[in-house]
Structure 1
């Protein structure tokens, strides 16, 4: 047996499922994984493996191709159909054959790697560690994007004190991680729009700096003006100073979702040159055709939320008002407000605008561009 331990870059205590119908080989593989510091989970066939996957959500799956009942290809297809929460789980085939066609078939089916029997345990551990490091980098990248989004949204108010150049920097920082973001002044004129906003708005909304956003359909233009008037007339600290509307798009099955929020502290021209207008409202655009909805359990694990908190956060991202959420969940408005306070604390956000942007950014990382 090999008694090596994972290197410093490995993920400690990773949960690894070994689906192998040969009992002796399965035992040897699990012993190697356990000695290397991982948690080994056994399955003798595909159906048992699927039960274990649903129960423990392993960090990596080792799977024999030829098993009684559900074979490796069928198990792989079932795993990938389970949803986004298993999308980045590495799947490594174990095969007694070195036929290149089998390798190609496995890759095309969505396998991340393969090992040929008889298994070289040094190669097994090296492959496992490499795949786990890759997953860790992917997850760290997502966490970094969330953190950058929080910092940038939190800095929008500060940007008003630093002038337009800082605001432009904030808008560029939002480009890679945020949903569509459009900043407007008190005259409803577009100050800045990030790349995502311009891409989404194409068939529904004209965005031109210095002019109000112009929906393609005249009826929507009137609705947008009224929504902006209501938002800017609200007390900035009010939680319900939010307007949501859907914009029809020619050639698309689903409408573009627009959420409009006031920016607190508007009216103070400090840091702005004469003639410059400060941002007074933000429009967040979300394309439901391109956005994968963040699963409740993923959102809950990411920010240590309760199931109720996760449902409320996702309902806000779908455009529901707090009163509508209370009716939908059959709870009081006070209960929703209580959960919102917990959400702000756990996600390090301060307003519904920041919370919704954070959820939408997480959803967009799941979408296949």
Structure 2
């Protein structure tokens, strides 16, 4: 420490040891110490760490213990000569590749030179030893040893990288295939083998066309496939939904990408992912979107899709199509007296009876509540629709046995025909709906066909609905306020907001437009506007003092508005927005 000899001597010794550890080791083997001294002197500046052994056994012990780059081995030694040492070295996996130079006398050891080469010596140094020759050969072998070590290091690094990338490919959840330029599989990771249900000998060497027929392929020629065209143009191909053929004959839906490998003559790599679960989920979601969850029948959305297809087929075939709208009788009474659980059981039973009564190809749907629809296509004549309607009425009129109760219901059916009554799906549904309401007005357990009279009413309803929408947008609706008086004292005790529709050609009666609003669902939008306008006006009268604080405004609501779960939040929001006390509404 601080220049004192003890520590600096230790540090110097450590530095020498570290330097020696980094140097290549050369083993000098000779039973004469003076020969070892000569060799040590000649090679002291060759850049190697020199080790010495005085016998064959000592040499082998050193070789088995140390990493030796080169051995200089005397041939003639007592107990174990150089040939025996070399044979022992070649028999040991650790030492068999260490280069060995024999030291021998030229005059009498010519045969020994031949024997040495036969036993595996790489060269000879002839005695008397030339310093220049010895140093030159030792440095050459040390340089070769350095090259060998560097090559081994690079090979080890490449092998580690190969193992790393192979482990990634093997662990990947996607299938990976390597293709030659002619479309043959020369690599497949374990996931690819599993997804394709293939053994390595089945897949490796196979033409990719045996696995999947590429899109837009003309014939079975690889050069005609889209994969080859993309590879030829050095572009990557991505297919989000395609099929591969498994070795067990099944098909596998996959998302697939194919990219060219570097090099003009190299092939391509295909990475594919199993999307069968995704496809299954999509199909389930699609089914849920068009299926009624209670009965398993089509819902309104599914009915519209099916009806559009049936109309197209009927238009091509020239045959009739009948659309039935079915409304159950007395179902509300069942729900009210027996509860919704029993009501749901009845609805399921109705679905089952309709399936049993109709053909397998007939379409059945539940629109909601107790309303069902049936599509009968391929009709030979109109009378056949009437026969089906009577059959359905008889089927639905039989009592339902539910939880020890015999429940009776019936149905009213409205029937619209294509192309007789309407030429599009929306008009056909409206016509069947109008016919069904006509049947309900005539009594229970009956059916009605759509008629020109109903058509005229339907047209009028459609025009009126359009007028309501346009009138609402054009601010043709307003509120009249009718006062309510205390008859004893003739004091005003309340006011009632009344909706009025005033058009340029006169006023439309509420009993004309309000039922249509309820039927079309416009009542929710208009009803919210009525609430907003009445509350706003009542707040203005409160601020101006024109009405006493005990005088509320009354607003009429449709029963359909009470079915809207947003009614209460809407009322609360409007009251809060205009700061009107709830008691004044």
Smaller-chain TM-score bracket: 0.3 to 0.5
The TM-score normalised by the length of structure 1 is 0.43
The one of the two structures with greater contact order (alpha-carbon pairs below 8 A, sep at least 6) is 1
Structure with more of its chain in strand, by fraction: 2
The TM-score normalised by the length of structure 2 is 0.28
